[in-house]
Amino acid sequence: MKKLTRESLLSLEQYALERESFRARVMAHKKARRVAVGPHATLYFEDALTMQYQVQEMLRIERIFEPEQIQDELDAYNPLVPDGTNLKATFMIEFPDVAERRAALERLVGIERALWMQVGTLERVIPVANEDLQRETDRKTSAVHFVRFELTGTMVSAFKSGESIHIGIDHPAYRHESLLPESSHAALAADLEERSEETDL
């Protein structure tokens, strides 16, 4: 999947004119990319369109129009655009009540390392988490993590051919598993590019 460039973006003026329709398109696009794992954990799978929306909103809010500053925003968000061999997501721990959320984050230290994805009957994939910075302490985890599921060529082929996809969490304080819905399966398969098995070696 191509990364975002300055040429990918709308100008501030053009975005102001198109923002309502663009936002509606992104929100509809995001629906199939949201995957709940149990009642309090959700993966929001990112791609070029979801990241363009984040960048456009940041440029709008901050009134950024200098090329160097625009490039800084692109450099911050492009790492969340999948590369064809992986799926990238924002992983969120969600509790509406503040006190309940605080207590849960203390119980759920290490939850991002307990997350997994399985393509058919192939080996489970544990994602690489929080490559940008450390998001937990010994006492509590963060409510937001950024994760990357790196898939082998065999997994990509199986994924795109329609094999069932399970996503789960095996944490002592939170054990849940979800079957990827058909709409989400199709959306995420589009992020992946098949390649020769030699690249797995």
Domain match, 92 and 75 both: no
User: CB of 47 within 8 A of CB of 33?
Assistant: yes
The answer as to whether 42 is a domain residue is: no
Same domain, 10 and 93: no
Residue 150 maps to a domain: yes
Mean pLDDT for each 10-residue chunk of the chain (201 residues)? Answer: 91 96 97 98 98 96 93 94 96 96 95 97 96 75 95 97 98 97 97 70 45
Looking only at the bridges linking them, the beta strands covering 174-179 and 128-129 are unpaired
Q: Which domain holds residue 7?
A: 1-31+48-81
Let me know whether 90 and 154 are in one domain. yes
Q: Is the same domain home to 66 and 139? A: no
pTM strictly above 0.85: yes
pLDDT in tens, 73-112: 999 999 999 999 999 999 999 999 999 999 999 999 999 9
Give the model's pLDDT for residue 196.
61
Number of domains in the chain: 2
Whole-number Å distance between alpha carbons of 114 and 108: 10
Which pLDDT value is given to residue 133? Answer: 67
Q: Do 69 and 159 reside in the same domain of the chain?
A: no
